[in-house]
């Protein structure tokens, strides 16, 4: 039976455990470049025991970013920064992973920690702003919420083909940088997610209407990347499988689409919500592991490996989902930001025999030896639980 700390192999890549540092947008890039910030931040998560480490979604074109402070891999000069990140992740014992994406009609934003823009909107900047641009979408329908009110450009078929080539070109650069796992971000209301959602996609050509047509953007992107990405390395997708709105993406449709994607070479489905509208019915955002049930259904019905995130930061829950074989990998975003050594902490909480075995051998040696006073390294001893009568006597 697998557990949270058992190895996991997909294609030619073996992960040392089942914990994944999920992509998190950090708003710390200039011209899409990765630098010392990213080397330090992502290297720390690899050093902390995560098995697979993603940076943020990397834009395949400049207008594919969320903000002008976001990372990308749309030109060769960006490869060097990515290569530095890959080297530190591997040196710390983890596998470097990249997520490629295009934010579509949710781009041209102001970094959220910078407050509101001049128009009082919390997010989107107008196209004529120095840090703004006209967003791209399957149909000329702005997102609407969060200040996303500016006109968007409906992509032509020729432009769609160009974007698929951009995905492939970015994959070639990712391989040159040293990544060994590639994910496409088609969730969270970004471009791929909007093509699949009837809320955003009103096209009447081969990219709109039926499930097969709405999934065509995804399938052609997989084909383009698979043609240049080695078979020995996993190709995965974060997919928005439900808009939680009767007019949007429906989960049953997503299951059918994933079957098609598997036939086109998808190795793992990373399930999330569509977020193509803020008008979600019975939002589960505060519920523990609310995507696990959907992920397990995909795993069972499609016969494909699955991962998911959302409220999995309690070790006992994450471990249980792996032991019950509901999911294959646990994606952790905010928990990884809060605690770069989350896997080591989780191992201790779960009573794993050697928590420090999750970090590289030199650190492990120091942490497991010469501990005259056990708590002196900031690692308090776990006191055995006492029965109520024993606790009263001790008092």
Catalytic positions: 190
Which one, of 359, 254, 261, lies nearest residue 298 by Cα?
Answer: 254
CA–CA gap between residue 285 and residue 290 (Å, rounded): 8
Other Cβ atoms less than 10 A from the Cβ of 364: the count is: 15
Q: Report DSSP state, residue 269.
A: E
The DSSP letter of residue 383 is: P
Closest CA to 200 of 135, 265, 290: 135
Residues 6+ apart with CB under 8 A from 144: 277, 278
Could you tell me the CA-to-CA distances from 144 to 56, 185, 188 in Å, in that order? 24, 21, 14
H-only helix segments in the chain: 36-47, 79-91, 157-177, 191-196, 211-214, 216-226, 251-263, 292-302, 315-323, 334-338, 342-349, 361-368, 388-394
Give helix 216-226 / helix 157-177 axis angle, nearest 10°.
40
Distances (CA, A) of 5 to 174, 209, 236, 333: 28, 43, 21, 18
Q: How far apart are CA 126 and CA 128, in angstroms?
A: 5
Q: Contact 284/236 with Cβ under 8 angstroms?
A: no
């Amino acid at each position: 039976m697998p557990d949270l700390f058992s190895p996991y192999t997909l294609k030619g890549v073996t992960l040392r455990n089942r914990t994944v540092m999920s992509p998190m947008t950090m708003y710390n890039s200039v011209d899409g470049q990765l630098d010392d910030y990213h080397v330090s931040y992502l290297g720390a998560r690899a050093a902390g025991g995560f098995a697979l480490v993603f940076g943020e979604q990397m834009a395949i074109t400049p207008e594919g970013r969320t903000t002008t402070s976001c990372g990308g891999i749309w030109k060769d000069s960006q490869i060097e920064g990515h290569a530095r990140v890959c080297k530190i992740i591997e040196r710390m014992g983890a596998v470097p992973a990249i997520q490629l994406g295009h934010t579509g009609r949710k781009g041209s934003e102001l970094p959220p920690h910078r407050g509101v823009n001049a128009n009082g909107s919390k997010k989107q900047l107008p196209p004529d702003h120095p840090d703004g641009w006209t967003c791209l979408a399957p149909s000329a329908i702005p997102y609407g919420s969060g200040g996303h009110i500016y006109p968007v450009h409906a992509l032509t078929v020729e432009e769609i083909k160009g974007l698929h080539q951009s995905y492939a070109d970015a994959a070639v650069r990712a391989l040159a940088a040293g990544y060994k796992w590639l994910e496409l971000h088609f969730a969270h209301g970004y471009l791929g997610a909007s093509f699949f959602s009837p809320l955003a996609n009103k096209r009447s050509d081969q990219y709109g209407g039926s499930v097969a047509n709405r999934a065509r953007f995804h399938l052609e992107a997989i084909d383009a990347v698979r043609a240049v990405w080695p078979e020995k390395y996993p190709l995965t997708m974060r997919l928005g499988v439900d808009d939680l709105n009767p007019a949007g993406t429906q989960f049953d449709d997503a299951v059918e689409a994933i079957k098609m994607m598997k036939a086109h070479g998808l190795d793992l489905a990373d399930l999330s919500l569509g977020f193509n509208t803020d008008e979600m019915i019975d939002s589960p955002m505060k519920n523990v592991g609310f995507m696990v049930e959907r992920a397990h259904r995909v795993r069972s019905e499609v016969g494909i490996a699955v991962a998911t995130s959302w409220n999995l930061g309690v070790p006992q829950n994450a471990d249980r989902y792996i032991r019950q074989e509901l999911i294959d990998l646990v994606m952790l975003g905010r928990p990884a930001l809060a605690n770069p050594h989350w896997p080591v902490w989780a191992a201790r909480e779960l009573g794993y025999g050697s928590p420090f075995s999750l970090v590289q051998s030199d650190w492990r040696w120091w942490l497991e030896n010469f501990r005259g006073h056990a708590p002196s390294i900031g690692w308090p001893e776990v006191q055995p639980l006492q029965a109520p009568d024993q606790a009263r006597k001790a008092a």
